[in-house]
Structure 1
Amino acid sequence: MSTADDKQKAVEIATAKAVLRYSPYLAYRPFLPSECFVDVLAGSEGAGDFCWCVSRDTGFMQRLCYGGFLPIATPVRGKLRSVVLPKLHEERCVVTDLSRLRVSRSCRKRARKLEFSVDTCFEAVLDKCVEQHGMNWIGLLAKEFLDMYRHPAHGVRMHSIEVWDGDDLVAGEIGWACGSIYTSATGFTRESGAGSVQLCALGCLLRRRGFMAWDFGMGMQYKYDMGAQDVPRPAFVALFRKARAVATTLECARANARDVIDGTHAQTKKEGEQQEGEEEGEGKEGSGLKQAGAKDESMGEGKEGEKVQKAAKGRVNEEARRRKREKRERRRQERMRWTREHAGKGKDGGQAVTTSADSGTPDGGDGAGDEKKKKKSVQ
């Protein structure tokens, strides 16, 4: 160990002792120096949910996240003001199978009016989280999270998730990805239903981008409703280490939130630019056809001119019909996809009423009542 490392360690120990004078309860929790082996500590048992540390070095914070810890902070008396409490839950709330993610019909309907994006305004999302929750743990770590976003390293990539209503940022969250496991840290919402849309769209995006698991941290009912479950610490650490070794990326150009849920959006900025280019090309092609038609019309004189005009209009109309057919086909495919996903989930609990081949009445009936009514009417 170098002289600089020895000096840093001595400073950390002196700072920790000063903290303990005002917060003696921390003495019952493991202390983490910045040079500790995070993976070794993560694999140990019987340490409770929390550790504590005085270092706020960006690299150390990233190593904590890469080890499966969820860094939070708590205020303390004295010069330091607050200390970091890396948390590794004895039971972690995780969606271990993203293919079983549950998306409600009402959320899909609400998503049509909103837009979704990733990493377009990290600082704005962070500020709104602090504004909504106050100077709790997220407010005490805002600077550290911003530094981690600006300087990704140690296998950790910070992300901001955004939901828009026009130009208004109405919901979002801060989180990070380690390989193919994503951890949600905290979020905010300004509009009813927007938070649910953000979570559902994010979950569907994670599934399509190849993520193996979605780490929610502490268990709550709305997380269980989406398909999450509590995973014991040893199993979670094993899952986390397996998933972080599989590389993937979390990207999404700004798109309609319903399209993100359905998977019909451009997932990256490059794909979005290509899609815009294609749409622009189609627009120019249609404009060219109209101009050609107008030119043909001006050249047409008498009967020959009428034929030219009809041919020009026919080309324009055929192009318009082709686009309508494509639009109808896209809608038909969306309806088929929705029907497959919601098959057997009708109001009657998925039990269809069948018809008896002999009597023409629902199963279980003999049609006797109908026969009596007919005889009475004849009399």
Structure 2
Amino acid sequence: MAQELTAGMLLSGYARGIFPMAQSRDDPELFWFEPRARGILPLDGFHVSRSLARTIRRGGFEIRIDTAFRAVVEACAAREETWINAPLFTLYDALFAMGYAHSLEVWRGEALVGGVFGVTLGGAFFGESMFSRVPDASKVALTYTVDRLRQSGFSLFDTQYLTPHLASLGGVEIPRLEYRRRLAEALSHTADFTAVPVPDAQSVLQRMTQTS
């Protein structure tokens, strides 16, 4: 990417169906990607297993929104191989300050144990990454994220690629042209990631298990 990427250019890329990644954390360059098969999490097809439902019902977690955005991004990048480099940290910080990037955090006491972060545009949520420091924390984060997107007027949860972890939760791949159609529809309306309060576990499970 010869031209230095700005937050506005990043949003324009998302609106066109492309997203940037680095080859590694130490590579200063960013490259645009547009997979032929795009990973999404259908908001009406998220799968809550019995074991995950028990984990959520058992409690012990506190869900917070946008209270530790940078910490979530750093935790997502704290792995042996990552596509999040220094320029992306700066861009995500800028998008967060502008209200286009958000984090859903899973806390246990004062410890941040899991979370998801992504970029929002219209009715689309572009999920960037997630992490887990205790068993099932990332699954809990995704459950609450999907519920939040459904309650807040979103229609698309873009995961970029499909991993076995996402597939086990209902994630699927769709062709590029179908993704572009769904993206255009999502961008035609507005949604607000922060519009609803954090629900209790029982409410989340009641809504999510009706469609899983």
| TM-score grouping bracket, smaller chain normalisation | 0.7 to 0.9
CA distance 1:115–1:55, change in 2 (3 Å): same
1:90-145 C-alpha deviation (Å, 9 max, x unpaired): 1101134x222211121122122212122121112122222x22573213311111
Question: Partners of 1:91 and 1:161 in 2: how far apart?
Answer: 26
Q: Secondary structure at the match of 1:164?
A: strand
Map residues 61-100 of structure 1 onto 2, 5 A cutoff.
61-74=10-23, 82-96=28-42, 98-100=43-45
Map residues 52-201 of structure 1 onto 2, 5 A cutoff.
52-74=1-23, 82-96=28-42, 98-111=43-56, 112-130=59-77, 132-133=78-79, 136-140=82-86, 141-152=88-99, 157-201=100-144
Q: Which is greater in Rg?
A: 1
Question: Partners of 2:89 and 2:41 in 1: how far apart?
Answer: 26
1:147-172 C-alpha deviation (Å, 9 max, x unpaired): 121134xxxx1111101112211001
* Aligned match of 1:248: 191
CA contact (8 A) 2:115 2:141 kept: yes
CA contact (8 A) 2:28 2:85 kept: no
Q: CA RMSD in A?
A: 2.6
Map residues 1-379 of structure 1 onto 2, 5 A cutoff.
52-74=1-23, 82-96=28-42, 98-111=43-56, 112-130=59-77, 132-133=78-79, 136-140=82-86, 141-152=88-99, 157-251=100-194, 252-254=196-198, 256=200, 258-259=201-202, 261-262=204-205
Structure with bigger strand share is 2
Count how many residue pairs are aligned between Structure 1 and Structure 2: 208
Of the two structures, which has the highest relative contact order with CA contacts closer than 8 Å and spacing of 6 or more?
2
Q: Secondary structure at the match of 1:124?
A: helix
1:286-333 C-alpha deviation (Å, 9 max, x unpaired): xxxxxxxxxxxxxxxxxxxxxxxxxxxxxxxxxxxxxxxxxxxxxxxx
Q: Secondary structure at the match of 1:74?
A: coil
Question: Partners of 1:189 and 1:238 in 2: how far apart?
Answer: 32
Question: Partners of 2:112 and 2:189 in 1: how far apart?
Answer: 32
1:338-359 C-alpha deviation (Å, 9 max, x unpaired): 7x779xxxxxxxxxxxxxxxxx
5+ unaligned residues in a row in structure 1: which ranges? 1-51, 265-336, 343-379
5+ unaligned residues in a row in structure 2: which ranges? none
CA contact (8 A) 1:117 1:253 kept: no
Question: Partners of 1:208 and 1:116 in 2: how far apart?
Answer: 16
Question: Partners of 1:220 and 1:76 in 2: how far apart?
Answer: 21
CA distance 1:242–1:92, change in 2 (3 Å): same
1:65 shift after superposition: 1.9
1:234-292 C-alpha deviation (Å, 9 max, x unpaired): 11111101111111111254554x2462369xxxxxxxxxxxxxxxxxxxxxxxxxxxx
**Counterpart residue type for residue 137 of structure 1:** W
CA distance 1:134–1:160, change in 2 (3 Å): farther
- TM-score (ref. length: structure 1): 0.50
CA distance 1:55–1:260, change in 2 (3 Å): farther
Question: Partners of 2:206 and 2:124 in 1: how far apart?
Answer: 20
